[in-house]
Structure 1
């Protein structure tokens, strides 16, 4: 990893995912982690609607090392006790970005 990539990854952990800044405690697949969960209302303010985010969607940001194995698009991920369907899963500079929607089978 380059020095720049290491600095960005450190910033993600120390600022973005810090509980004194944006991070909050969430439960993912039964494990408590620090993450940022953006709801549809928050995403709409930042232009999320243009990205196809609907009322049942959230985006989860978490440290790569805190996340379980990627269940794949269409797979199920339990977030805070709610079964959600994975629509997208990317890793950006050590941060996992997962777009999830409510699993209508459990709604």
Structure 2
């Protein structure tokens, strides 16, 4: 008999991170695995002021959110770790494990 945890683990790869549905294959820190990548605009979070007074204080960067199976990676990333996605280097801002799916927040300086 399958437990609830067994069913969640099966759904994680069969539904949520299925390459035919949501995910695509990416090179995640040296490992080819199915993942969902979401670019996050940093302009808003790095701006000061609002409206016509809104300015961007000389920071050029990008943020990326990665969702992948925890078992796909050799180790769970930690804050400040150098981390690559499809040969672009980032720093880990945070990482959460939600029932086997990692949500990894990454930042990069694009200067």
TM-score tier, shorter chain, comes to 0.7 to 0.9
Q: Please give the TM-score of this superposition, normalised by the length of structure 2.
A: 0.73
User: Which residues of structure 1 form unaligned runs of 5+?
Assistant: 42-48
Q: Distance in 1 between matches of 2:16 and 2:85?
A: 19
Tell me which residue corresponds to 1:25. Answer: 25
Secondary structure in 2 matching 1:86: strand
Displaced runs of 4 or more, over 3 A: 52-55
Aligned-residue CA RMSD in angstroms?
Answer: 2.5
Partner in structure 1 of residue 53 of structure 2: none
Q: Which has the higher helix share?
A: 1
2:63–2:107 contact (8 Å) kept in structure 1: yes
**TM-aligned CA distance change 1:79 to 1:53, over 3 Å:** farther
Aligned length, in residue pairs: 95
Unaligned runs of 5+ in 2: 48-60
Pick closer, same or farther for the CA change 1:86–1:13 going to 2, 3 Å.
same
Q: Looking at CA atoms only, which structure, 1 or 2, has the larger radius of gyration?
A: 2
